[in-house]
Amino acid sequence: MFRFGLIIATVILVVDQVSKLYLIDLMARHPGGIEVASFFNLVMVWNRGVSFGMFAGDDMRWILVAITAVISGIVFLWLRKATNRMLAAGLGLVLGGAIGNIIDRVRLGAVADFFDFDLIFMRWPAFNVADMAIVCGVIVILLENLFQGRKSDKMPS
């Protein structure tokens, strides 16, 4: 399971970093953004904080790198003990996304976000591939935990 999770983490990391290289260059040529659909735009947002820009500031950069690195280490250790593909996949998604955002903070000083959804009922803050992977990974981990809990409820003790 460990290898499976690492493959997922590596794929996410590569897709995240390649998409950021491409989109940073593209957005430099289109500073006003690009309307892809009436509800979806490509924009350039430098997120110096965490979710929704919380804890933004140059003084927080290295603290956020350290915290994210520690969390990534914990996820890595958890992945080593994963006993099924669903958990390994979820942990791989989280790990790949977290490392992608760490690389941004170290290399660029902030996380590059591009995807901007303006839905009828809300406007979602800009995000990137790493963010999508982290959210999807957490959902997979929660679902795996729920399914494992149901299996253990049905097992005789």
113 is catalytic: yes
User: Pick from 32, 67, 65, 31: which is nearest to 48 by CA?
Assistant: 65
Which one from 25, 113, 118, 153 is the annotated catalytic residue? 113
Which one from 16, 104, 116, 131 is the annotated catalytic residue? 131
Residue 127 is given by DSSP the state B
For 104-130, give one letter per residue: b (16+ CB within 10 A) or e.
bbeeeebbbbbbbeeeeeeeeebbbbb
131 is catalytic: yes
Structure tokens at 44: 């350039």
Do the Cβ atoms of 140 and 96 come closer than 8 Å?
no
Q: Mind telling me the catalytic residues?
A: 113, 131
